[in-house]
């Protein structure tokens, strides 16, 4: 019998391959908008349905919460899935997107995986067992100077423009270079892999960050207490940073870190 981490990896890898196949076929011409800048493709729904079917087949009766079909956290075992994170990229022919899946038990995230099919990169973590990129141990960067820090500031339609602009301004004033890649899950994975020093977003959904938060922590980084009220359906702000810049990033963003 496969262990939990292998099952998760299997599911997100297959889902990612399906998403990449659809990405190549649809060529950026098949999307609708749920609202301003809120993209939906048929692939989001197909992938989520595939992931739900696989979870039900492998772990019957578990609760599932997903971006497209919703769901409730319930009690006990819970899966949180983002079928395509970076949907706006996916829809506009930009291959920066991923599938993200996390497993929670007794109010704690136990394992998570983020798979970026276009680069064939699998970011994984298990609670207390470290984080890996394609099987190799992955650690956050050691960069300790904000003047050399590359950070990502996420944006969605739910962000208040003036607050977003103020945060970007402050980041630049503190000396950081600032990017926005359009996938919160990959933004967190990149902090874990040492490709960015920090990821911050003022309002983000649980499914965007469920796997990434664990992956950053297990790679030696710091995060805020996103799950503070044990309501796994909630949106919140997120800050994930390497350890060396923890204090500075908390001061810059005004967001308290827990680890």
Q: Which spans of this chain sit near ligand IPD (rule: CB under 6 A)?
A: 67, 82, 85-88, 154-156, 182-184, 201, 204-205, 208
Confirm or reject binding of residue 201 to Ca ion (CB under 5 A). no
Which CB sits closer to Ca ion, 82 or 248? 82
Q: What Cα–Cα distance (Å) separates residue 107 from each residue in 35, 74, 110, 119, 195?
A: 32, 10, 9, 32, 30
Contact between 208 and Ca ion by CB under 5 A: the answer reads yes
- Considering only residues 82, 197, 201, 248, which one is a binding residue for Ca ion as defined by CB under 5 A? 82
Given the complex with ligand IPD, which of 205 and 253 has the nearer CB atom? 205
The smaller minimum CB distance to ligand IPD, of residues 202 and 244, is found at 202
Rounded to the nearest whole angstrom, what is the least distance from the CB of residue 256 to ligand IPD in the complex?
A: 20
Find the residue with minimal CB distance to Ca ion: 85
Taking contact as CB under 5 A, which single stretch among the options 8-16, 76-84, 138-146, 170-178 is the one that binds Ca ion?
76-84
Q: 3-state SS string over 127-147? A: CCCCEEECCEECCCCCCCCHH
Angle CA 201–204–206, to nearest 5: 135
Residue 211 CA to residue 209 CA, distance in Å, equals: 6
Q: How far is the CB of 204 from Ca ion (least distance, A)?
A: 8
Of 63 and 156, which has the nearer Cβ to ligand IPD?
A: 156
Q: Are strands 236-241 and 198-204 parallel, antiparallel or unpaired?
A: antiparallel
Residue 9 region, left (φ>0) first, then alpha (ψ -120 to 50), else beta? alpha
Tell me which H or E stretch contains 41: strand 38-41
For binding to Ca ion (CB under 5 A), which residues are involved?
A: 82, 85, 208
């Amino acid at each position: 019998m496969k262990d939990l981490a292998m099952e998760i990896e299997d599911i997100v890898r297959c889902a990612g391959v399906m998403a990449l196949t659809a990405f190549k076929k649809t060529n950026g011409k098949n999307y609708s908008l749920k609202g301003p800048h809120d993209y939906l493709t048929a692939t989001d729904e197909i992938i989520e349905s595939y992931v739900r079917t696989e979870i039900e087949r492998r772990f019957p009766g578990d609760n599932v919460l997903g971006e497209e079909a919703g769901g409730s956290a319930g009690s006990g075992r819970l899966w949180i899935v983002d079928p395509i994170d970076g949907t706006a990229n996916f829809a506009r022919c930009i291959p920066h997107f991923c599938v993200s899946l996390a497993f929670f038990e007794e109010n704690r995230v136990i394992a998570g995986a983020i798979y970026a099919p276009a680069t064939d990169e699998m970011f994984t973590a298990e609670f207390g067992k470290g984080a890996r990129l394609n099987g190799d141990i992955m650690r956050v960067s050691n960069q300790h100077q904000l003047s050399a820090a590359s950070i990502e500031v996420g944006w969605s339609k739910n962000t208040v423009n003036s607050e977003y602009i103020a945060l970007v301004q402050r980041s630049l004033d503190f000396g950081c270079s600032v990017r926005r890649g359009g996938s919160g899950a990959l933004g967190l994975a990149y902090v874990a892999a040492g490709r960015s020093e920090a990821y911050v977003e003022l309002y983000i959904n649980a499914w965007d960050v469920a796997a990434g938060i664990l992956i950053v922590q297990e790679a030696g980084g710091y995060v805020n207490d996103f799950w503070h009220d044990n309501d796994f359906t909630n949106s919140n702000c997120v800050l994930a940073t390497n350890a060396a810049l923890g204090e500075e990033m908390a001061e810059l963003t005004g967001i308290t870190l827990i680890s």
